[in-house]
Amino acid sequence: MMHKHRCRKCGSPPVINMPQHRLALCGDHFPQWIVEQTERFIRKYHMFTRQERILAAVSGGKDSLSLWDILWQLGYTVDGLYINLGIDEGTHYSAESLYNAKQFAEQRALNLIVVDVLEKYGESIHQMAQRTRHGESKPCAVCGLVKRHIMDQAARDNGYDVLVTGHNLDDEAATLLANTLTWETDSMLRQHPILETRHPALRRKVKPLFRFYEREMAAYALLRKIDYIDDECPYAKGTRSIFYKEILNQLEADQPGAKLKFYLSFLKARENGVLLPTRADDDEGMMVNADHGQLKTCPSCGQPTTSAELCAFCRLVEG
Ligand code: Q46
Ligand code: ZN
Ligand code: ZN
DSSP 272-302: TT-----S---TT---SS---S--EE-TTT-
The helix (run of H) or strand (run of E) holding residue 36 is helix 29-44
| Reported pTM | 0.93
Please state the rounded mean pLDDT for residues 285-306: 71
Ligand 1 contacts CB of residue 264 (under 6 A):
no
Is the minimum distance from the CB of 140 to ligand 1 under 6 angstroms?
yes
Q: Which ligand gives the minimal distance to the CA of 9?
A: 2
pLDDT score of 300? 95
Indicate if ligand 1 lies below 6 Å from the C-beta of 236.
Answer: yes
Q: Give the residue-averaged pLDDT of 23-42.
A: 98
Find the 56 Cα to ligand 1 centroid distance in Å.
18
Q: Which tens digits make up the pLDDT trace of 212-232?
A: 999 999 999 999 999 999 988
pLDDT of residue 293: 56
> Is the pLDDT at 34 greater than 70, yes or no?
yes
Q: If you average pLDDT over residues 104-115, what whole number do you get? A: 98
283 C-alpha to ligand 3 centroid (Å): 10
CB-based contacts of 111: which residues, under 8 Å, 6+ apart? 79, 80, 105
Which protein residue has the closest C-alpha to ligand 1 atom 8? 233
Give the whole-number percent of the chain exceeding pLDDT 90.
80
Looking at every residue in the chain, the average pLDDT score rounds to 91
Residue of 59, 84, 233 with the most ligand 1 atoms within 8 Å of its CB, for mutation: 233
pLDDT in tens, 41-92: 999 999 999 999 999 999 999 999 999 999 999 999 999 999 999 998 788 9
Q: What is the pLDDT at residue 289? A: 35
Percent over 70 (pLDDT), the chain: 92
- Ligand 1 neighbour 233 (Cβ under 6 A): yes
Query: 276 — phi, psi (to 5°)?
Result: -125, 140
Q: How many CA atoms lie within 13 A of 302 on its CB side?
A: 9
At residue 98 the predicted structure's pLDDT band, cuts being 50, 70 and 90, is very high
Q: Model confidence at 253, in pLDDT bands (50, 70, 90)?
A: very high
